[in-house]
């Protein structure tokens, strides 16, 4: 049954993945790309449920704001998306100011159109037909006048009577390692664009919340059992990707954390991205697909420390420009990860095939996201799919390790023949001591089977083992509460710790139950035989030497056996309800 539960635990995860894919892919709006030609674009193809991405050739006025365009000698044309060139006057950084212009034709003057800017670096102002529609941050000629802000915004406009819209967008950048007209404008019916943006925001919030909850859940599991290092690193990956999801694309992080500065948010954006490589490296390291090499773990830990230092203490022009080198390092690391996966598959390691399957989805999603032309953003889908499969692998590995741990713990603490606690467990108990609750008494009972040697000598050790197993079963019926502890002391000797309410006054009822159950004959190898049991009892008080109390019970048992070997019970004088040195004879026990 436990094996079935382990095999089926991933079913709800797969269901969650399927539901997630439906949520992410559920976008009924048709998105088409339209390229401008020489600063003019026709939008006659735009219908009520359509959205167009306007790229192509835009007029470009470097160093000028909209108000300065009358001073221009003429426009040049650039292909949008467009990045600012490196500026020698700004130390080789892509800093500066520019205005882009486009004339959109074929619009309906009676309709309200929406216009959406996903991300432009790193401050902008959008004007349509002379009216300011959108702005982010403060566009400035200099670093002092410039205030950065990058986030998704949605506005609306109307075409003029001729069905035209003159679109200007001025952009300045003195903060980021890449500046310019990053992403095409989205234009469509305002309600259509609003619902599409709402779906996009909801998708990102869904990815963020589900990955964050998953990461915190796994981190909590790691807190319970610190030996599963892969669980820790995987939880950190989920949390990092969850935060990064809100810092990139629509950048909704700034809506939730209103007081965070642009500089702090940008550092966190790069930090969560850079951390993924060493975190994935350490996760693979602890999956045990190949022999662990401490130098590899050390390299990833050093990389973690360097990433924290660089992203926290250096300016954007340093930590952000490390991105190309970091990407090259990621590509080189793919060889290492691929080698580990191949070894894991070859050795039939837990989850290697699943991770390989996730990689086959994730890597094409990355390639298509960077170089393809898709309506839907596939990168979140690839990331989510890979992480869900990783969840199955990591949790399954944890369950297997826990099963092994429980088995080894049982093997160490339990007697393999009877299944009772063994002498090793008893020694641990003696080293720790036992706490006795208020208004309760703790008794130590020592048992020895009478005439057991005769059974071994007459019927053999196999019969003797059967007697021990049956004796353990009978004692287990007498001691089955959570507070009862039953151990095999060695040979045919057993010991029990029983906690009782003070008002019960005596344990005679327990003793009589044991005597009664052992008065029944043992059916062993087709033979019916009767055995006696001798019992010694002592009472343990908080602070007593447990080992001495056990010896006291042992001595009592042997005194009883010496006086009468037919199942005699002796109770020490301090035991409630018994006279000092009381001897109880069990006449029902017969010779074998």
Domains and CATH numbers, the chain: 2-26+196-403 (1.20.1070), 37-183 (2.60.120.260), 423-584 (3.30.70.270)
For tokens 């500066």, the residue is 96
State how far the Cα of 241 lies from the Cα of 580, in Å rounded to an integer: 72
pLDDT at 84 over 80: yes
Task: Indicate the average pLDDT of the chain.
Answer: 82
| pLDDT single digits (tens) 555-587 | 888 877 776 654 444 444 444 444 434 444 433
In sequence order, the β-bridge partners of residue 131 are 128
Cβ atoms 237, 387 nearer than 8 A: yes
Contacts of 508 (CB under 8 A, 6+ apart): 577, 578
- CB burial readout 524-553, b (16+ within 10 A) else e: beeeebbbbbbbbbbbbeeebebeebbebb
Mean of pLDDT values over 150-176: 94
Q: What tokens does 44 get? A: 């006659």
Of 340, 347, 346, give the one whose Cα is nearest residue 293: 340
Q: What tokens does 588 get? A: 């029902």
pLDDT of residue 432: 77
| pLDDT single digits (tens) 195-250 | 888 888 888 888 888 888 888 988 888 887 787 888 899 889 889 988 988 888 78
State how far the Cα of 238 lies from the Cα of 22, in Å rounded to an integer: 21
pLDDT of residue 584: 43
pLDDT of residue 11: 60
State how far the Cα of 352 lies from the Cα of 176, in Å rounded to an integer: 40
pLDDT of residue 587: 36
For tokens 């310019």, the residue is 180
pLDDT of residue 302: 96
pLDDT of residue 379: 61
379: Cα separation from own chain's centroid: 20
Q: Provide the pairing of β-strand 96-105 with 50-62.
A: antiparallel
| pLDDT single digits (tens) 429-475 | 887 777 777 777 888 888 988 888 888 888 888 999 999 999 999 99
State how far the Cα of 564 lies from the Cα of 140, in Å rounded to an integer: 105
Q: What tokens does 112 get? A: 């309200």
Express as a percent the part of the chain with pLDDT over 70.
83
- 522 φ/ψ angles, rounded to the nearest 5 degrees: -95, 130
State how far the Cα of 164 lies from the Cα of 161, in Å rounded to an integer: 7
State how far the Cα of 403 lies from the Cα of 443, in Å rounded to an integer: 34
pTM, two decimals, is 0.68
State how far the Cα of 544 lies from the Cα of 230, in Å rounded to an integer: 44
What are the Cα distances from residue 436, in Å, to 309, 439, 495, 502, 571?
53, 9, 18, 11, 20
pLDDT at 106 over 90: yes
pLDDT of residue 116: 94
Mean of pLDDT values over 94-120: 94
pLDDT of residue 160: 95
339: Cα separation from own chain's centroid: 24
pLDDT of residue 18: 63
Contacts of 568 (CB under 8 A, 6+ apart): 534, 560, 561, 583, 584, 585, 586
Q: How many residues does the chain have?
A: 592
| pLDDT single digits (tens) 383-398 | 777 777 777 777 777 6
Residue 27 banded pLDDT, cuts 50, 70, 90: low
- 93 φ/ψ angles, rounded to the nearest 5 degrees: -90, 155
Cβ atoms 42, 105 nearer than 8 A: yes
Least confident range of 5-14, 15-24, 297-306, 531-540? 5-14
The three-state secondary structure class of 54 is: strand
State how far the Cα of 196 lies from the Cα of 191, in Å rounded to an integer: 8
Helices (H), 178-252: 190-224, 229-247
């Amino acid at each position: 049954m436990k094996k079935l539960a382990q095999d089926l635990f991933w079913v709800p995860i797969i269901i969650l993945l399927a539901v997630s894919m439906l949520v992410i892919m559920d976008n009924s709006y048709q998105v088409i790309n339209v390229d401008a030609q020489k600063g003019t674009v026709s939008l006659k193809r735009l219908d009520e449920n359509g959205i167009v991405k306007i790229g192509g050739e835009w007029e470009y006025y470097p160093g000028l704001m909209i108000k300065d365009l009358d001073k221009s000698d003429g426009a040049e044309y650039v292909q949008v998306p467009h990045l600012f060139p490196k500026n020698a006057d700004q130390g080789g950084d892509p800093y500066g100011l520019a205005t882009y212009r486009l004339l959109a034709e074929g619009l309906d003057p009676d309709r309200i159109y929406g216009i959406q800017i996903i991300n432009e670096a790193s401050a902008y102002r959008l004007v349509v037909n002379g009216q300011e529609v959108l702005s982010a941050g403060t566009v400035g000629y200099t670093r002092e006048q410039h205030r950065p802000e990058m986030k998704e915004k949605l506005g609306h406009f109307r075409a003029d009577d001729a069905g035209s819209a003159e679109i200007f967008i001025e952009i300045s950048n003195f903060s980021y390692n890449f500046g310019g007209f990053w992403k095409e404008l989205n234009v469509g019916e305002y309600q259509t664009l609003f619902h599409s943006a709402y779906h996009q925001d909801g998708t990102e919030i869904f990815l963020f919340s589900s990955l964050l909850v998953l990461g915190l859940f796994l981190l909590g599991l790691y807190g319970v059992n610190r030996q599963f290092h892969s669980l820790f690193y995987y939880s950190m990956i989920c949390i990092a990707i969850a935060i990064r999801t809100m810092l990139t694309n629509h950048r909704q992080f700034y809506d939730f954390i209103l007081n965070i500065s642009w500089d702090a948010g940008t550092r966190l954006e790069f930090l969560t991205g850079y951390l993924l490589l060493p975190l994935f490296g350490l996760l693979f390291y602890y999956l045990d697909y190949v022999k662990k090499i401490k130098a590899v773990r050390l390299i990833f830990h050093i990389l973690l420390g360097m990433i924290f230092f660089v992203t926290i203490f250096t300016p954007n022009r340093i930590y952000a420009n490390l991105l190309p080198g970091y990407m090259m390092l990621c590509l080189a690391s793919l060889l290492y990860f691929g080698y580990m996966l191949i070894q894991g598959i070859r050795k039939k390691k837990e989850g290697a095939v699943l991770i390989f399957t996730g990689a086959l989805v994730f890597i094409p999603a990355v390639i298509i996201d960077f170089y393809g032309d898709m309506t839907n953003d596939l990168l979140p889908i690839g990331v989510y799919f890979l992480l869900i499969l990783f969840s199955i692998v990591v949790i399954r590995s944890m369950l297997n390790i826990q099963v092994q741990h429980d088995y080894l713990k049982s093997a160490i603490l339990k007697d393999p023949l009877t299944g009772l606690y063994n002498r090793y467990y008893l020694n641990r108990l003696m080293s720790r001591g036992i706490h006795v609750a208020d208004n309760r008494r703790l008794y130590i009972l020592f048992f020895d089977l009478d005439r057991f040697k005769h059974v071994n000598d007459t019927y053999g050790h196999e019969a003797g083992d059967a007697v021990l197993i049956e004796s353990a079963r009978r004692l287990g019926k007498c001691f089955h509460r959570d507070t009862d502890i039953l151990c095999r002391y060695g040979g045919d000797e057993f010991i029990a710790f029983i906690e009782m309410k003070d008002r019960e006054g005596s344990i005679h009822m327990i003793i009589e139950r044991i005597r009664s159950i052992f008065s029944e004959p043992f059916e062993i190898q087709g033979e019916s035989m009767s055995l006696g049991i001798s019992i010694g009892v002592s009472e343990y008080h908080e602070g007593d030497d447990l080992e001495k109390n056990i010896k006291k019970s042992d001595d009592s048992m042997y005194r009883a056996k010496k006086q009468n070997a037919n199942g005699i019970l002796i109770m020490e004088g301090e035991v409630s309800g018994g006279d000092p040195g009381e001897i109880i004879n069990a006449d029902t026990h017969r010779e074998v």
